[in-house]
Amino acid sequence: MTTPRDFLFVPAAAGLLLSGTVSAQAPVVDGTIDKSYGPALLVQDNQTGFGNSDLGLIDAANGSELDNLHAVVVDNVLYLGLGGNLESNFNKIEIFIDCRAGGQNTLRNDNAPVNFDGLNRMGTSANNPDTAPGLTFDVGFAPDYYITLGGGGEPYTMYLDWAELLTSGGGFGDYGGSGSAGVENVASNGILFSIDNSNVAGVTGGDGLEPDGGLGVATGLEFAIPLDLIGYDGGRLAVCVFVNSGSHDFMSNQVLGSLGGLPNLGEPRVVDFAAIAGEQYATVVSGKGTPYCGDPDAGNCCLNTGTAYCSDGDCCATVCATDPTCCEVVWDSACAEVAATACVPCGGTDTCGGSDLDCNGNGIADGCDIADGTSNDCNLDGIPDECQGEVFFCVDGMVSEEYGDPISIQDTQTGFGNSDLGLVDAANGSEIDVLYAFYDEDHLHMLLGGNLESNFNKIEIFVDCRAGGQNTVLADNADIDFGALQRMAAVPKDPKAGPGLTFEPDFGADFYLNMGNGGGPGAVDIYLNWATMPTDGFGLGGFGGPGLAGLPNFMDNGIVFSLDNSNVGGVDGGIEAQPDGGAGVGTGVEIKVPLALMEWDGSPIRICAFINTSGHDFVSNQMLGGLGGGDNLGDPRFVNFAKLPGMQSVLVGDEKNLCEGDFDGDGVVGGADLAILLGAWGTSQPEYDLNGDGTVGGADLSVLLAAWGMCP
């Protein structure tokens, strides 16, 4: 358990900002504001112009009010508790978070078009910027992240959307998913949310002053927001919250901080919080404050830091579970000694630094020292990749020898532009030149050599990996990436709009991935979306990012993805045939997907991949296998691969063992593999019978010892 940083809160009677601390117990996200939040940061003193709910139901409400704001940071997650009600007519709670340098003090109109473009509806008017300059916040408050939620219907359902707020606009956003009242709901990006609408206390209806009117309300809206998700930079953390209409076009007088007795504010494009008395936001974290587990400034876990906590969050939590004084008092030499045996960064038992193995092959059992250049560290965590089973196969957008030869080569020039920038991140054209792919016992590995233009063009990847699946894309798949799959499916009520993207007769898509990227050189963000595709639709899906080019980007579900856009070879621009034009390209989109996530049933694995526009509405001529020449295909709803020449899918070969004797798949033949072999001694288990004589014994031990060390 960690102790959070210093907090600022508003005692109801004093109305002044004072320093204080709160409990470090993580709240339960169910719409009830429990004691772990501590005192309210802000209490409402303005009556509500959006109706005072009197239903007392956990779901439906007939009025909206914001009575108070509670917040706490626990284990690098921001928990928000908003006492009050949100009317079940799809009125919106709007949450703006200032969490890093930059941001938008005045909302722009070129942000992500989330929730029917509701965010941009509050931004600068394109037609009348002088009279409707856009919602403007208090001086010093420039939000970097946005969350909106509304609910209604029968049965009652909540819907959450979110977006980045980049200083220069153009950030990414998406629909996060739906949920029910009174329970914890998980958005596709990992945000937790809930509502309990049963409050009948708090402020009354009207537009007058009601001092401390929101005091004591303990039910309402609740959120848990991972700070890594929103890009928190460790400085000040502040939030602005208010209630808006369902169309984001009429702001209520329910704002925290309070307005001090004002009517509804109306058109958000003309609202300027700086012109209203007081601060219309709350500071959750003031400056750096007290260190915490994972704080980059807390010090190396392997050393006596002189302060509480250390900089590696996982190691910190492990050590403090054994010795709480390391987090409560000081991280001293005794704490460092515990870390030395328990934590990977200090050479613990999960690395070869905690054993007598020479895992980096430099002839010395030296704890995997990478300073001599004999090892790679593709995820930049200070530990050689071969000392970490989960990353030894480096997902960085570059082909490696584990892939072997490409299994498909492009034969058609690209109608989406031939990139000539040669940069790892940004590209000014899109092409798929080659496909490298294999699967081991745990993952499907893919590298699609080429380029992906940094205008959020999409690489669309469909995988046939089990019985069933969708030969024609259905309209009722998981709603990811602004309805990506729905945009390629048939329109049920309008057959003339196209029959839907259709694959070859023997290809039934079971799993879907897409990747896009945007931004200029040095500032490109990468995003990945995924979904299962059950035969009858209604699968699951999610989102990962923003990620960085040239490095592995890890998702909680086990997907790892990367991009290297530096290719300037491959096919030329155009629509003509170019046999073997993609040969030799070794950089591009790289993805590693857990076979369990794809629900692989042992069937042959086939891949269909192509380039599409950012709106998933115009297919290029870049696909694998190639078209043999030809123009871009256009609207995906009219694309039928069965009617195109050649095979527009590629078979991935048999399961590949990355290293003989590496039974645990960690990239090293070592003690763990020896233990596995000895456990199978005397049996006929074929996976451990390395010499194929039908018995696991001395001959197999000799093969294993001959392969001892790092996999080639």
DSSP state string for 172-237: -EEEEEEE-TTS-EE-TTS-EEEE------SSPBSSSB-TTTTTT--BEEEEEEETTTTT--SS-E
At residue 657, the pLDDT reads 55
Longest Cα–Cα distance of the chain, Å, equals 88
C-alpha torsion sign, points 297, 302, 303, 304:
positive
Three-state DSSP state, 543: strand
Residue 187 lies in a domain: yes
At residue 42, the pLDDT reads 94
Average pLDDT over residues 653-680: 72
Assess whether pLDDT exceeds 80 at residue 379.
no
Residue 295 lies in a domain: no
Assess whether pLDDT exceeds 70 at residue 362.
no
Assess whether pLDDT exceeds 50 at residue 90.
yes
**Of all residues in the chain, what percent carry a pLDDT higher than 90?**
60
256 and 122 part of one domain: yes
331 and 256 part of one domain: no
Residue 296 lies in a domain: no
Weakest-pLDDT range from 199-208, 371-380, 543-552:
371-380
Strands (E), 465-510: none
**Which phi and psi (to 5°) does residue 570 adopt?**
70, -155
Dist. CA 688–CA 674, nearest whole Å = 10
482 and 547 part of one domain: yes
Residue 300 lies in a domain: no
614 and 644 part of one domain: yes
At residue 384, the pLDDT reads 59
Residue 659 lies in a domain: no
94 and 216 part of one domain: yes
At residue 667, the pLDDT reads 63
Which residues sit opposite 675 in a β-bridge? none
Strands (E), 540-649: 541-547, 553-554, 560-563, 588-594, 606-612, 619-624
**pTM for the model:** 0.48
At residue 64, the pLDDT reads 98
Crossing angle of helices 313-322 and 333-342, in 10° steps, is 110
Weakest-pLDDT range from 190-199, 436-445, 610-619:
436-445
**Which phi and psi (to 5°) does residue 187 adopt?**
-75, 165
Work out the burial of residue 17: count CB atoms within 10 Å of its CB; fewer than 13 is exposed, 13-18 middle, 19 or more buried.
middle
Dist. CA 269–CA 611, nearest whole Å = 38
170 and 124 part of one domain: yes
Dist. CA 392–CA 400, nearest whole Å = 11
Crossing angle of helices 671-679 and 698-706, in 10° steps, is 170
Structure confidence by residue, pLDDT tens digits, 250-259:
999 999 988 9
Residue 377 lies in a domain: yes
Residue tagged 């070869």 (tokens) = 352
Dist. CA 403–CA 555, nearest whole Å = 22
- Which pLDDT band holds residue 655 (cuts at 50, 70, 90)? low
Work out the burial of residue 28: count CB atoms within 10 Å of its CB; fewer than 13 is exposed, 13-18 middle, 19 or more buried.
middle
- Which pLDDT band holds residue 237 (cuts at 50, 70, 90)? very high
In DSSP notation, 659-685 reads: STT-TT-SSEESHHHHHHHHHTTTS--
- Which pLDDT band holds residue 1 (cuts at 50, 70, 90)? very low
Strands (E), 32-144: 42-43, 65-74, 77-85, 89-98
At residue 664, the pLDDT reads 66
Dist. CA 214–CA 353, nearest whole Å = 57
Dist. CA 143–CA 108, nearest whole Å = 11
Dist. CA 459–CA 367, nearest whole Å = 40
Which of 623, 651, 679 terminates a domain? The answer is 651
Specify the number of domains making up the chain. Answer: 4
Return the closest-CA partner of residue 81 out of 91, 95, 92, 63: 95
190 and 244 part of one domain: yes
Rg over alpha carbons for the chain, rounded to the nearest Å, is 28
269 and 320 part of one domain: no
Residue 293 lies in a domain: no
Do the strands 541-547 and 65-74 form a parallel or antiparallel pair, or are they unpaired? unpaired
For residue 48, the enclosing domain spans 7-285
Structure confidence by residue, pLDDT tens digits, 547-600:
999 988 989 888 999 999 999 999 999 999 999 999 999 999 999 999 999 999
- A 10 A CB-CB count for 139 gives 10
Average pLDDT over residues 449-465: 97
Three-state DSSP state, 126: coil
494 and 630 part of one domain: yes
Average pLDDT over residues 228-245: 93
Dist. CA 350–CA 357, nearest whole Å = 12
Residue 464 lies in a domain: yes
Return the closest-CA partner of residue 186 out of 399, 371, 343, 29: 29
First to last CA, the chain: 42
- Which pLDDT band holds residue 54 (cuts at 50, 70, 90)? very high
At residue 293, the pLDDT reads 75
Assess whether pLDDT exceeds 80 at residue 97.
yes
379 and 415 part of one domain: no
102 and 170 part of one domain: yes
Assess whether pLDDT exceeds 50 at residue 711.
yes
Dist. CA 11–CA 43, nearest whole Å = 9
Q: Whole-number mean pLDDT of the chain? A: 86
Query: Which amino acid is located at 452 in the chain?
Result: L
Weakest-pLDDT range from 10-19, 68-77, 471-480, 631-640:
10-19
675 and 611 part of one domain: no
